[in-house]
Amino acid sequence: MCMRPPLRSRPPLFHNSNLSPSKTRFFTSFHQKIVRLKPLCLAAIFIARFAAYAANSPTPLYLDPTRPLESRVNDLLSKLTIEEKIAIIHADSKFTTAAIPRLQIPRRWMSDGPHGVREDIGPDTWKPAGHTNDFSTAMPAGVCLAATWDPDLGYSEGTVIGQEARARGKDIMLGPGVNILRTPLCGRNFEYLGEDPWLTSRMAVGFIRGEQSQDISSCVKHFALNNQEYDRDTIDVEVDERALREIYLPAFRAAVQEAGVWCVMGAYNQFRGQHCCENGYLLNDILKGEWGFKGLVVSDWDAAHSTAGSALNGLDLEMGTDGPYDKFYFATPYLDALKSGSLPMAGLDDKVRRNLRVMLATDVFDPARKTGSLNTADHQAVARHVAEEGIVLLKNENHLLPINPDEVTNIAVIGENATRLQTHGGDSSAIKAFYEITPLQGLVNRVGRRVNITYSEGYDHRPDPTLEARAIAAAKSADLVIYIGGLNHDKGYDCEGQDRTDMRLPFGQDDLISKLVAANPKTVVVLEGTMVEMDPWLDKVPAVLQAWYPGMEGGNALAALLFGDVNPSGKLPCTIPRRLADSPAQALHAYPGVSGTVTYSEGLLVGYRWYDTREIEPQFPFGFGLSYTTFQYSNLKLVAGGLGGALVTAQFAITNTGSRDGAEVAQLYVHQDNPGLPRPDKELKGFQKITLKPGETQTLSIPLKTNAFAYYDPDKKAWVAEKGTFHILVGGSSRDLPLKDQFTLTQTDSFE
Ligand code: BGC
Report pLDDT digits (tens) over 225-279.
Answer: 999 999 999 999 999 999 999 999 999 999 999 999 999 999 999 999 999 999 9
- Measured by CA distance, the residue closest to atom 6 of ligand 1 is 301
263 forms bridges with which residues in the sheet? 219, 296
- Please tell me the residue having the least CA distance from ligand 1 atom 3: 428
Region 208-220 average pLDDT: 98
Distance 155 CA to ligand 1 centre (A): 22
For residues 242 and 677, is the Cβ–Cβ distance under 8 A? yes
Closest Cα to residue 567, out of 624, 627, 510?
A: 627
The confidence score (pLDDT) of residue 26 equals: 37
| Nearest-atom index, ligand 1, CA of 268 | 8
> Rounded distance, CA 141 to CA 383, Å?
10
pLDDT in tens, 345-365: 999 999 999 999 999 999 999
pLDDT over 70 (residue 22): no
Tell me if 95 CB under 6 Å of ligand 1: no
Give the residue, out of 186, 317, 428, with the most ligand 1 atoms within 8 A of its beta carbon, to mutate for a pocket test: 428
Task: Tell me what pLDDT residue 715 has.
Answer: 98
User: Is pLDDT of 633 > 80?
Assistant: yes
- Give, using CA atoms, the residue closest to atom 4 of ligand 1: 301
- What mean pLDDT is predicted for residues 707-736? 98
Residue 674: which of 744, 584, 604 has the closest Cα? 744
Sorting pLDDT into bands at 50, 70 and 90, what band is 550?
very high
pLDDT of residue 50: 42
First to last CA, the chain: 70
Q: How far is the CA of 428 from the centre of ligand 1 (A)?
A: 6
Mutate to test the pocket of ligand 1, among 269, 301, 317, 431 (most ligand atoms within 8 A of CB): 301
Surface-to-core class of residue 615, CB atoms within 10 Å of its CB (0-12 exposed, 13-18 middle, 19+ buried): exposed
Q: What is the pLDDT of residue 57?
A: 63
Assess whether the C-beta atom of 221 lies below 6 angstroms from ligand 1.
Answer: yes
Q: Is 301 in the pocket of ligand 1 (CB under 6 A)?
A: yes
Q: Which of 112, 189, 232, 298 to mutate to test the pocket of ligand 1 (most atoms within 8 A of CB)?
A: 112
How many A from CA of 321 to the centre of ligand 1?
Answer: 9
Give the percent of the chain with pLDDT over 70. Answer: 92
Q: Is 389 in the pocket of ligand 1 (CB under 6 A)?
A: no
Q: Which atom of ligand 1 is nearest to the CA of 226?
A: 8
Distance 222 CA to ligand 1 centre (A): 9
Task: Looking at the CA of residue 219, tell me the nearest atom of ligand 1.
Answer: 10
| Nearest alpha-carbon partner for 261 in 337, 362, 179 | 362
| Ligand 1 pocket, residue 428 CB under 6 Å | yes
The residue contributing the CA closest to ligand 1 atom 12 is 428
In order, the DSSP letters of 141-186 are PHHHHHHTT-HHHHHHHHHHHHHHHHHTT-SEEE--B-----STT-
Mean pLDDT of 137-152: 98
Q: Residue 12 C-alpha to ligand 1 middle, in angstroms?
A: 64
**Cα 95 to middle of ligand 1, angstroms:** 10
Q: How far apart are CA 43 and CA 147, in angstroms?
A: 61
Residue 41 pLDDT more than 80?
no
Has 300 been annotated as catalytic?
yes
pLDDT score recorded for residue 731: 98
User: What is the predicted pLDDT for the residue at 123?
Assistant: 84
Beta-carbon contacts of residue 614 (< 8 Å; ≥ 6 apart): 605
Distance from residue 122's CA to the centre of ligand 1 (Å): 15
DSSP 717: T
The residue-averaged pLDDT of 627-646 equals 97
- Protein residue with least CA distance to atom 7, ligand 1: 301
Per-residue model confidence as pLDDT tens digits over 316-326: 999 998 889 99
- The continuous run of DSSP H or E covering 585 comes out as helix 584-587
Please pick, among 196, 215, 236, 300, the residue that the annotation labels catalytic. 300
* CA-191 nearest atom, ligand 1: 9
Q: Which atom of ligand 1 is nearest to the CA of 267?
A: 8
Q: For the chain, what is the mean pLDDT? A: 93
Size of the chain, expressed as the number of residues it contains: 752
- The H-assigned helical ranges of 362-434 are 377-390
Q: Sign of the CA dihedral 360, 364, 368, 370?
A: positive
Question: Does ligand 1 have an atom closer than 6 angstroms to the CB of 300?
Answer: yes
- Given a cut of 80, whether residue 201 has pLDDT beyond it is yes
Contact between 199 and 608 under an 8 Å Cβ cutoff? The reply is no
Quote the pLDDT of residue 383.
98
Q: Is the CB of 656 under 6 A from ligand 1?
A: no
| Mutate which of 93, 127, 174 for ligand 1 pocket (most atoms within 8 A of beta carbon) | 174
Composition of the chain by helix, strand, coil, percent to 5: 35, 20, 45
Is 70 exceeded by the pLDDT of residue 290?
A: yes
CA distance 388 to 371: 29
pLDDT at 582: 98
pLDDT tens per residue across span 673-703: 999 999 999 999 999 999 999 999 999 999 9
Do 453 and 502 contact (CB within 8 A), yes or no? no
**564-578 average pLDDT score:** 98
The predicted structure's pLDDT at residue 56: 53
Distance 558 CA to ligand 1 centre (A): 30
**Residue-by-residue DSSP string for 188-254:** TGGGS--S-HHHHHHHHHHHHHHHHTTS-EEEEEEETT----TTTTTPEEE--HHHIIIIISHHHHH
Angle at 164 between CA 159 and CA 165, to 5 degrees: 95
Atom number in ligand 1 closest to CA 113? 10
Q: What is the pTM of this model?
A: 0.92
299 lines ligand 1 (CB under 6 A): no
Going by CA atoms, what residue is nearest to atom 8 of ligand 1?
300
Three-class secondary structure of residue 741 per DSSP: strand
Q: What string of DSSP letters covers 255-315? A: HHHTS--SEEEEPSSEETTEEGGG-HIIIIIIIIIIS---SEEEE-TT----HHHHHHTT-
Residues 6+ apart with CB under 8 A from 637: 650, 651, 652, 741
* pLDDT value of residue 124: 81
For the cut 90, the answer to whether the pLDDT of residue 24 exceeds it is: no
Asked if residue 315 has pLDDT above 60, the reply is: yes
How far, in Å, from the CA of 301 to the mean position of ligand 1?
Answer: 6
User: What is the tens place of the pLDDT at every residue in 371-422?
Assistant: 999 999 999 999 999 999 999 999 999 999 999 999 999 999 999 999 999 9
Burial of 450 per CB tally in 10 Å (0-12, 13-18, 19+): exposed
Mean pLDDT of 170-185: 98
